[in-house]
Amino acid sequence: MRLHSAVTPRERELLTGIGNCYEACHEGFEETVGMVARSRDRSIDEVKETLRSIGERYGNDPDFLRLRERFPATFPV
């Protein structure tokens, strides 16, 4: 299943937001998640859980891997 048809718009927005934020600021994972959480009016834990869930469900999906390449491999997503 392709990521774009499987994730909710909100999940895709978060994953894209992590990539955009990292590309703009080049901060660490915690800082990047914090910025995205604040900008999307979500808790840090909620963002982390959503990212973890997306990674578990779609870790081998080409769309996920393309979005995932936008931030460091050290990010636990």
Domain range for 31 is 9-68
pLDDT, tens digit, 9 for 90 and up, residues 11-51: 888 888 899 999 999 999 999 999 999 999 999 999 999 99
On the 0-12 / 13-18 / 19+ scale of CB atoms within 10 A, 20 is: middle
- Does 22 map to a domain? yes
For residue 70, what is the enclosing H or E element?
none
pLDDT, tens digit, 9 for 90 and up, residues 44-66: 999 999 999 988 988 888 888 88
pLDDT at residue 7 in the model = 79
- Does 2 map to a domain? no
- Does 17 map to a domain? yes
Q: What token pair was written down for 39? A: 């900008």
pLDDT at residue 2 in the model = 65
- Does 15 map to a domain? yes
- Does 48 map to a domain? yes
SS (H, E, C) 8-48: CHHHHHHHHHHHHHHHHHCCCHHHHHHHHHHHCCCCHHHHH
Task: Name the domain count of the chain.
Answer: 1
Whole-prediction pTM: 0.82
